[in-house]
């Protein structure tokens, strides 16, 4: 069906492809009644800055970007009360429609979980439109709460906030 998928940090050369994929995803979600981000939020200048910071993660198949997400250490907009370093924050997860159901989303989430663990975070957190909550719960996220947020772009939105706990795996210390 599809070639193998590799997940890695985005590079500056990926800007146009990431922008196109996010625009495709935004249009699809809007048509489904699940608006996510505005086109201004995915403008080339904004994306270029986040790519340069190392925040964008890409899933590639045969050289084509088939999924993206952003991972950061701070989210003052949606998780303003979190202590610095407590969590990693997943945003802008988007999979090319032709790869929907091809396990790209779990690969991106797993990459982010491992990165947040490497940062010694207690959790990987995200916010999403309430219509997407079930998708993330199936990936292991648990519901935290629902918030009404005034975004920096002056939009008022309702989001569900979810997280995956990153407690260290327990060790079986029983002697046998």
Domain harbouring 154, CATH code: 3.40.630.30
176 has pLDDT over 50: no
* Dist. CA 41–CA 130, nearest whole Å: 20
Could you tell me if residue 171 is inside a domain? Answer: no
pTM summary value:
0.89
Measured between alpha carbons, how far is 74 from 86 in angstroms, rounded to an integer? 9
What is the domain count for the chain? 1
174, part of any domain: no
Does residue 175 lie in a domain region? no
Q: 135-174: per-residue pLDDT in tens?
A: 999 999 999 999 998 877 777 889 999 999 997 654 444 4
Specify if 81 maps to a domain: yes
Among candidate residues 169, 114, 164, 170, the one with its CA nearest the CA of residue 139? 164
For the residues 86-101, what does the mean pLDDT come to? 94
Residue 172 lies in a domain: no
Tokens of 149: 């947020």
Task: Please write the tens of the pLDDT for every residue from 96-137.
Answer: 999 988 899 999 999 999 999 999 999 999 999 999 999 999
Domain that holds residue 84: 5-165
pLDDT category at 23 given cuts 50, 70, 90 is very high
- Helix count and strand count (H, E) for the chain: 4, 7
Helix axes 44-52, 15-31, angle to 10 degrees: 120
Identify whether 61 is part of a domain: yes
Q: Is 173 inside a domain boundary?
A: no
Q: Which residues contact 27 (CB under 8 A, 6 or more apart)?
A: none
Structural domain includes residue 176 = no
Please report, for residues 11, 93, 175, the alpha-carbon distance to residue 22 in angstroms, rounded to integers and kept in the order given: 16, 9, 52
């Amino acid at each position: 069906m599809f070639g193998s998928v590799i997940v890695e940090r985005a590079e500056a050369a990926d800007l146009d492809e990431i922008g196109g994929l996010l625009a495709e995803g935004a249009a699809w979600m809007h048509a489904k009644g699940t608006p996510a981000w505005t086109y201004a939020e995915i403008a080339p200048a904004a994306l270029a800055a986040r790519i340069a910071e190392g925040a964008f993660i890409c899933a590639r198949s045969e050289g084509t970007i088939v999924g993206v997400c952003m991972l950061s250490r701070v989210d003052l907009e949606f998780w303003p009360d979190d202590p610095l370093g407590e969590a990693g924050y997943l945003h802008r997860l988007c999979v090319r429609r032709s790869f929907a159901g091809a396990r790209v989303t779990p690969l991106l989430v797993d990459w982010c979980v491992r990165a947040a663990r490497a940062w010694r975070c207690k959790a990987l957190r995200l916010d999403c439109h309430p219509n997407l909550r079930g998708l993330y719960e199936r990936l292991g996220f648990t519901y935290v709460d629902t918030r009404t947020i005034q975004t920096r772009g002056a939009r008022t939105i309702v989001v569900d906030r979810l997280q995956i706990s990153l407690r260290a795996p327990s060790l079986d210390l029983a002697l046998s």
